[in-house]
């Protein structure tokens, strides 16, 4: 949106969603809403708006493995009830392993950083070359995730 600062975008998006929902009858309202993750405050605000609305986050771009696990962690922490991932799984070195660690992060069994290290350990044991070294893959590179 032209003239809107990146800091104001999450509030604008939430306001637009709420206004659209306000124009619908209860029977017309969606039960599920999938959105891009715009940071903790924006997700918490939207997830708290209507407890009957299931809010889910989109996986976004490929990013680092830490971005993937951090998104799962923050989405769950700030009220999302679903995560819809495509590229982050499809482009992973080991899709089954990344999904396993995503589940562990979502369940609170490991932190995002611990999951990155364990994922790299599994890649090494399977003789799979990671796309990035552990230090680079442990970085949070997406701006919205740096807020949480």
Mean pLDDT of 75-95: 93
Distance from C-alpha of 30 to C-alpha of 82, rounded to nearest angstrom: 15
In 10 A of CB 20, how many CB atoms?
11
pTM of the model: 0.90
pLDDT band per the 50, 70, 90 thresholds, residue 54: very high
Higher pLDDT pick, 91 / 135: 135
Percentage of residues in the chain having pLDDT higher than 90: 75
In 10 A of CB 56, how many CB atoms?
15
pLDDT band per the 50, 70, 90 thresholds, residue 1: low
CA dist 59 → 5, 74, 121 (Å):
23, 12, 23
Chain centre distance of CA 42: 13
User: What is the tens place of the pLDDT at every residue in 115-140?
Assistant: 999 999 999 999 999 999 999 999 99
Task: Find the length of the chain.
Answer: 148
């Amino acid at each position: 949106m032209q003239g809107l600062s990146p800091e104001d975008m999450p509030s604008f998006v939430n306001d637009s969603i709420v206004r659209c929902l306000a124009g619908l009858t209860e029977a017309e309202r969606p039960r599920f809403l999938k959105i891009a993750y715009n940071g903790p405050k924006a997700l918490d605000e939207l997830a708290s708006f209507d407890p009957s609305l299931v809010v889910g986050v989109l996986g976004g771009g490929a990013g680092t493995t830490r971005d993937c696990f951090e998104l799962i962690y923050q989405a769950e922490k700030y009220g999302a009830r679903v995560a819809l991932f495509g590229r982050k799984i499809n482009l992973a070195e080991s899709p089954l392993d990344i999904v396993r660690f995503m589940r562990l992060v979502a369940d609170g069994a490991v932190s995002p950083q611990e999951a990155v290290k364990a994922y790299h350990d599994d890649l090494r044991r399977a003789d799979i070359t990671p796309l990035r070294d552990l230090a680079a893959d442990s970085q949070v590179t997406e701006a919205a995730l740096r807020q949480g």
